[in-house]
Amino acid sequence: MEFSFSVSGPSKVDLADSYDLVIIGGGPTGLTAAIYSSRANLHTLIVEKGAPGGLVATTEWIENYPGFPEGVAGPELGRAMQQQAQRFGAEIFHGEPEGMDLRSNPKKITLGGKPVTADAVIIATGTRPRKLGVPGEVELAGRGVSYCATCDGPFFQDKELVAVGAGNSGVQESVFLAKFASKITIVEYLPTIQAEKILVDRFNRTGKGSFLLNHEVISIEGEGKVSGVRVRDRESGKEKVIPCSGVFIWVGLKPQTEGFKGLVKLDEWGYVEADEELRTDIEGVWAAGDVVSGAVRQIAAAVGSGAKAAIGIEHYLSTKPQKGVD
């Protein structure tokens, strides 16, 4: 089966006609897989539409990744991983596949108008922030609605903000926002805070924030830019508007697998189903990292997953009969 993708700003690179391995996704998972595969002398191409490091590049500070006792900036970690992969010869195409046929052998992928083949593929497209789906969210995106504190926090110096989601991501990123904002209200749908106590304590110490629990965001309001967030008390049903200049949304993640529907087996939430060796239901196609059903969605787990997939592919290709050889 062949699937067509939308194209977004492909890079001008000299693509080879064929690769041993094409990795779709250049986050920590894909970059780690490329480090292992390139070091094993597999001709490797990474396909990434965004910044090196993927979602990690939008994280201001990472404290739980081994080897960095004082923490590390997300963009810095992403760049370092990319440089390491390129050091061993991995190539990077900045853009998206225009079309793929993963059931053929070798696999067929079109990039920037050029068809290339690959003996193996890793799906490492990761996840992206889930949207609320309320009125005003789409209309005011980039006009006060954001999903990335690192990207947009500095634009809200001395402004009042609303953060949606009291999980680890929401509270941790709100700590970063407190460097700029004058006040932050974290709205949580559930009646309890979901984040770890250490993060909650850190947020409370900023002296700039509060939690509004058991409330549902109904709409994001404003003409041309965000002016407030309308919420409803889930117990009493009463509504009110929280005045603010910006709203940052952290209500979970969504797998980036739209382009793989009908192509590989997905679970009911859209994550790729893979076996213990990270093989999908298609021979020669692996899935790794956050995009895999049941994955532990942490950077340390993602890099381990990428390494495991690359090692499995190296073994698969080394035992695969060569063309023209009995």
Least confident window among 15-24, 50-59, 139-148, 249-258 = 50-59
Q: Residue type for 302, please?
A: A
CA 183 to chain CA centroid, nearest Å: 28
Average pLDDT over residues 100-112: 96
Give catalytic status of residue 148 as yes or no.
yes
Within a domain: 52: yes
CB atoms closer than 10 angstroms to residue 63: 12
Nearest in space to 209 (alpha carbons), one of 163, 278, 263? 163
What average pLDDT does the structure give for the chain?
92
Q: State residue 157's pLDDT score.
A: 96
Specify if 326 maps to a domain. no
Q: How far apart are CA 297 and CA 27, in angstroms?
A: 12
Q: Classify the C-alpha dihedral 79-80-85-89 as positive or negative.
A: positive
Is 258 a domain residue? yes
Residues 104 and 155 in one domain: no
Whether residue 217 sits in one domain with residue 269: no
Pair 113, 150 in one domain: no
pLDDT of residue 148: 86
Instruction: Map residue 312 onto helix, strand or coil.
Output: helix
Q: Environment class of residue 99 by beta-carbon count within 10 Å: exposed (0-12), middle (13-18) or buried (19+)? A: middle
Structure tokens at 323: 């063309």
Residue 7 falls within a domain, yes or no?
A: yes
Q: Once rounded to an integer, what is the mean pLDDT over residues 169-190?
A: 96
Q: Please give the single-letter amino acid code of residue 74.
A: G
Q: What's the rounded mean pLDDT across residues 120-142?
A: 94
- The yes-or-no verdict on residue 222 having pLDDT over 80 is yes
| Distances from the Cα of 250 to the Cα of 92, 171, 173, 195, angstroms | 30, 9, 9, 12
Domain boundary (212, 234, 249) is at 249
Number of independent structural domains in the chain: 2
How confident is the model at residue 10, as a pLDDT?
47
For residues 113 and 216, state if they share a domain. no
Q: Over the stretch 70-90, which tens digit does the pLDDT of each residue have?
A: 999 888 999 999 999 999 999
* Structural domain contains residue 205: yes
Instruction: Give a yes or no: residue 277 inside a domain.
Output: yes
For residue 212, give the H/E element and its range. strand 209-212
- CA dist list (Å): 145 to 139, 167, 212, 216: 9, 19, 19, 17
Structure tokens at 128: 């992206």
Show the domain range for 239.
131-249
Q: Tell me: pLDDT of 51 over 90.
A: no
Asked whether residue 228 falls in the same domain as residue 302, the answer is no
Give me 123's structure tokens.
Answer: 């799906």
Active-site entry in 151, 267, 275, 281: 151
Q: Which residue has the higher pLDDT, 265 or 5?
A: 265
| Residue 304, both tokens | 């381990």
Please state, for a pLDDT cut of 90, what percent of the chain lies above it.
81
* 71 and 211 belong to one structural domain: no
Examine the domain organization and report whether 82 and 141 are in the same domain: no
Q: How far apart are CA 29 and CA 130, in angstroms?
A: 20
Q: Quick one: 158 and 178 in the same domain? A: yes
Q: What is the pTM of this model?
A: 0.79
pLDDT for 8 equals 40
Q: Which residue has the tokens 């390494």?
A: 307
324 within domain boundaries: no
Supply 141's token pair. 């995106």
Of the candidates 249, 278, 308, which is a domain's last residue? 249
Map tokens 């209200």 to a residue.
Answer: 185
Residues 196 and 245 in one domain: yes
Q: What is the CATH number of the domain that holds 204?
A: 3.50.50.60
Interatomic CA distance for residues 78 and 76, integer angstroms? 5
123 vs 62: CA distance, rounded Å: 24
Does 239 share its domain with 274? no
Residues 146 and 202 in one domain: yes
Q: Is the pLDDT of residue 194 over 60?
A: yes
Residue 2 pLDDT > 50, yes or no?
A: no
Q: Are residues 80 and 216 in the same domain?
A: no
Start-to-end CA span in the chain (Å): 29
Can you give the pLDDT at residue 7? 36
Per the residue annotation, which of 20, 119, 152, 290 is the catalytic one?
152
Look at 156 and 59; give whichever has higher pLDDT.
156
Domain boundary among 215, 249, 283: 249
Mean pLDDT of the region 218-229: 97
- Comparing C-alpha atoms, which of 261, 230, 303 is closest to residue 84? 303
154-171 tens-digit pLDDT = 999 999 999 999 999 899
Residues 6+ apart with CB under 8 A from 69: none
